[in-house]
Amino acid sequence: MKEKEKRVLVGMSGGIDSSAVCILLQEQGYEVVGVTMRTWDVPSHFSTPGQEQPDDVLEAQRLAARLGIEHHVADVRKEFRQVIVQYFIDEYMRGRTPNPCVMCNPLFKERILCEWADRTNCAYIATGHYCRLEDRNGYRYIVTGDDSTKDQSYFLWKLPQAILRRMMFPLGGMTKASVRDYLASKGFEAKARGGESMEICFIDKDYREFLREHCPDIDERIGEGWFVDSKGIKLGKHKGFAYYTIGQRKGLEIALGKPAYVLKINPEKNTVMLGDAEQLRTRYMLVEDVNVADREELTACPDLSVRIRYRSRPISCRVLWLEDGRLLVKFAEEASAIAPGQSAVFYEGNRVLGGGFIASQQGIKKIAAEKEMLFQNSF
């Protein structure tokens, strides 16, 4: 290997996974360079009074010193607030449910890693995601990791080919338990016993409190609205549409004598439609902002499935491209709680073919009726 091709930039969070990545790559003969992004400070990130750097930065620095690797700190708090946190807020203000981790990977973390890799003369970038890579037909695909409980392929569908071709996922063939054992065997017993990080790194409380904190005028801008049923009949007052998500049952603070679920959110009218669980079920879904390596492969795939939220099981499906660039998805069985703003990620077995954001489902019954003939004998 040429000198540059021996250098790998690792995104170091100071946690279990990225620490294991650094050690594994060193053992494989790579020259590891670490960078830790300081994205968002919350009180729980600082364990001692007067501490200037958050715990994850200090942990990463200690590991880098122990391993003898070059380490950098990228203070990207301002940009993170402008790009990722603002997206998170804006989506709720549109009546949608955001996927901040999906947006963070292509728009922020991996992009910044690529910039730092260029700056530090590294050919590759590596992270602690539990997934793998596969080259096929001239494209590079993400494949689910061997540890199904930690698989993170769902969050990476938006990564472009240019970034995927530089990426390495050293933990894809390991389980979390084996990673802990590996760290302990290398003399990092305390690190191996460490806890897990938060799923949304910038929220350490209920997201509604976060919205109020960072949009102090949110209650004035939105205000109270009406819960309505599927016929538009008013059922009672709610606190504002941004505080609710599709499929939500708990915390509605309204008594209807039976379980009620959020069916639809209308930000223009500030209404939240409630109904029963059966009304959440559907055989169709619209998806927008689609990113796939091979469009024809997606429509022709005989073993296509889709996940509509993280941790959900894949549902067999078929897809059609609409004239406006959206995808019409037909499920082999009914799906529940289709939430605009969340990700729909398409798989062939364990291979990610691509994904998109769940779109507004307005008008879907008419669209599905018009296209149904094209789905005949599809299951």
355: domain CATH number is 2.40.30.10
Specify whether the CB–CB gap between 72 and 112 falls below 8 A. no
DSSP designation for 68: T
Predicted pLDDT of residue 199: 67
Same domain, 184 and 74: yes
In a 3-state reduction of DSSP, which class is residue 57?
Answer: helix
Predicted pLDDT of residue 198: 60
One-letter amino acid for residue 254 of the chain: I
Residue 73 belongs to some domain of the structure: yes
> DSSP string covering 318-347, please?
EEEE-TTS-EEEEEEEEEE---TTSEEEEE
Token digits for 117?
């890799």
How many Å separate Cα 164 from the centre of its chain?
16
* Domain that residue 286 falls in: 282-375
Same domain, 263 and 305: no
Specify whether the CB–CB gap between 356 and 287 falls below 8 A. yes
Query: In total, how many domains does the chain have?
Result: 3
Q: Which residue, among 352, 311, 355, 348, has the nearest Cα to 329 in the 3D structure?
A: 355
Same domain, 36 and 103: yes
Burial (0-12, 13-18, 19+ Cβ within 10 Å), 242 = buried
Determine how many CB atoms are found less than 10 A away from the CB of residue 115: 13
Mean pLDDT in runs of 10 for the chain (379 residues)? 79 95 97 97 89 94 96 96 96 96 91 96 96 96 94 94 96 96 95 78 88 94 96 97 97 95 97 97 97 94 96 95 97 97 97 98 95 80
Q: Which residues are annotated as a binding site for ATP?
A: 11-18, 37, 128
Same domain, 185 and 320: no
Specify whether the CB–CB gap between 34 and 22 falls below 8 A. yes
CATH code, domain carrying 239: 2.30.30.280
Residue 301 belongs to some domain of the structure: yes
CATH code, domain carrying 72: 3.40.50.620
Which one of 101, 131, 201, 317 is the catalytic residue? Answer: 201
Which one of 101, 104, 131, 301 is the catalytic residue? Answer: 104
Q: What distances in angstroms separate CA 37 from CA 9, 56, 188, one per listed residue?
A: 13, 9, 23
Residue 45 belongs to some domain of the structure: yes
| Cα Rg of the chain (Å, integer) | 23
The Cα 181–Cα 183 span in angstroms is 6
Residue 334 belongs to some domain of the structure: yes
Same domain, 128 and 270: no
Residue 217 belongs to some domain of the structure: no
Q: Does the active-site annotation cover 104?
A: yes
Same domain, 231 and 183: no
Q: What is the pTM of this model?
A: 0.94
Same domain, 179 and 135: yes
Same domain, 40 and 164: yes
Same domain, 304 and 333: yes
Q: What angle do CA 39, 40, 46 make, to 5 degrees?
A: 115
Residue 213 belongs to some domain of the structure: no
List of residues 6+ apart from 282 with CB closer than 8 A: 331, 334, 335, 336, 338, 361, 364
Same domain, 128 and 253: no
Predicted pLDDT of residue 327: 98
Q: Which residues are annotated as a binding site?
A: 11-18, 37, 128
Same domain, 240 and 131: no
